[in-house]
Amino acid sequence: MRTAVVFTVAASFAAISYAQVLTLADIKTKGAVELSGQELQQLMPSAKVVSRTNAGSTRNWENKSDGTFVASSDNAGGQSGRSRPSSGNGTWQVTDDGTYCVSIDWNRTQEKWCRHVFKAGDKYCGVAKLEDSAAASEFEFSK
């Protein structure tokens, strides 16, 4: 019986991880509220960040007070089917319009993006545009 319960729970998590990409409309239905620029200014300095891409990669970094960080990625979900961990130097900022912006220089590419950050309960998501159809990415922020 215990094996069946463990399998069911594991299968449920697997189904969630392969579910359709969440959109802004989806997270709004869960009561998500956009964080203000002031709230982001309080949250982001010294925050430990876990960023999960819609492709399946998990990246980690800690926002330093000087606006820099060193990121690491498991590169899961890559096109080759193999994951090769990597790292890169990055910068972060909260813009005047209240978005969280990141730039990361990976070994072979540069990544730049800004996200409107929403919170529902203890979950955070970011969207590039304030459109209901915009894809939402999952974040964790901790101090």
Domain assignment present for residue 2? The answer is: no
Residues 76-135: tens digit of each pLDDT: 876 555 668 899 999 999 999 999 999 999 998 999 999 999 999 999 999 999 999 999
Buried b (16+ CB within 10 A) or exposed e, 2-33: eeeeeeeeeeeeeeeeeeeebbbeebeeeebe
- Whether 96 contacts 37, CB under 8 Å: yes
Please list the alpha-helical segments (H only) found in the chain: 2-17, 24-29, 37-43
Residues 29-39: tens digit of each pLDDT: 999 999 999 99
Q: Which residue has 């304030």 as its token pair?
A: 130
Domain assignment present for residue 69? The answer is: yes
Domain assignment present for residue 102? The answer is: yes
Number of domains in the chain: 1
The total of other beta-carbon atoms located within 10 Å of residue 119's CB is: 18
Predicted confidence at residue 41, as pLDDT, reads: 96
Q: Measure CA 78 to chain center.
A: 17
Domain that holds residue 95: 21-142
Domain assignment present for residue 79? The answer is: yes
| Domain harbouring 53, CATH code | 2.40.128.640
Predicted confidence at residue 104, as pLDDT, reads: 98
Domain assignment present for residue 47? The answer is: yes
Domain assignment present for residue 8? The answer is: no
pTM: 0.81
